[in-house]
Amino acid sequence: MKRPFRLKSLLLTGAFALISQATLAADKVTFQLDWLPGGDKASIYAGIDQGYFADEGIEVKISQGRGSTDAISKIATGSADVGFADLVALLVARANDQVPVKAVYSVFSEAPHAFFTVKGNGINSVSDVAGKKIATSPFTSSNIFLPLLLDLNKVDQDSISLVKADPGSLAPMLLTGNTDVVISWITDAEKYRSQAAKAGKELTVMPWYDAGLKFYATSVIASERFLQQRPDVARRFIRAYNRAVEFTWAHPQQAAEAVHKQVPEVDVDVAVATINSIRSLVYNDASASAGLGNFDHQRLADTWKSTAIAQKLDPASFDPETAISREPKLAAE
């Protein structure tokens, strides 16, 4: 008489075992950073720490990077599935080499390029850099857009003295007076502010988007292979990542702690300050209009036009829409 009950128990046990196996078999995704971990990368770490990717049945492995070109190359060749890269770098790579990579989510809908200078030296706007010495890294994409910025602000390019130096020497050059201005990204502002304070000085940051250069920058990119072969994983990944972005800027302290927990060398206070300082790159009129993570058609076209002019390419030679994936429910809704 007890056999039916025993059979039912065995069936239930087997069912729970199958569910447990399915739960354990999470989809693995390799995420490629475009640079070293820090507050500006907090969203991907927060998504892991808060369990957003686990909620979607995804296990994320993060790989450090050495620039957007490096990230695009690794994703194109299959070393990673998804990652961060400057949209401008992707547009150029697609236009020149047709790399099989597409942008799926806009992280920075304003570009982070900026002038850094010391407060009190008479440089308060882009137009004030005329006749000044400007130091920059030879590797930054900001150099591509400098001529456009100067033209927009009616600064004679021949009037400035542009010096290229190792990235690590830029802050010391500025603080010792060996240069009037440094070109860097807003994401580095807190590091510069800390060094300036130790030298008894105050940093002035002049974002280029306030001076007329308005275009997309850091984006989440993915290989076409990943998008075509695992479209459901891609959708679930973006859904989880969007939650992580919202959490990061709603709870910067916890997001910074998530980075530190996974990468101990990242200082929590610096990461918190960075997250707060770059909020305007994520939340702004462009993201409010198109929706967080989405690419506005006209702004995308303007981004490519600025890029093409800066690269001395024909804007009509490439359609930037081909570099974006607008699959249903792929971008954040």
Helix (H, G, I), strand (E, B) or coil at 154: coil
pLDDT of residue 20: 44
At 48, list the tokens: 């892991």
pLDDT of residue 135: 97
Q: Which residue has the tokens 């959708």?
A: 235
Pairwise CA distance, residues 46 & 32, whole Å: 15
Pairwise CA distance, residues 153 & 212, whole Å: 8
Buried b (16+ CB within 10 A) or exposed e, 299-312: bbeebbebbbbbee
Whether the CA torsion 269, 275, 278, 279 is positive or negative: it is negative
Structural domains in the chain, CATH included, are: 27-110+215-323 (3.40.190.10), 113-211 (3.40.190.10)
For residue 319, give every residue at least 6 positions away whose Cβ sits within 8 Å of its Cβ, in sequence order, or none.
none
The stretches in the chain having pLDDT less than 70 are 1-24, 328-333
Tell me the whole-structure pTM to 2 decimals. 0.84
Pairwise CA distance, residues 273 & 258, whole Å: 14
pLDDT of residue 237: 97
Find the DSSP H helices in 51-156.
Answer: 52-55, 68-76, 87-97, 142-152
Between strands 133-136 and 181-185, the pairing is parallel
Residue 148, burial from CB neighbour count under 10 angstroms (0-12, 13-18, 19+): middle
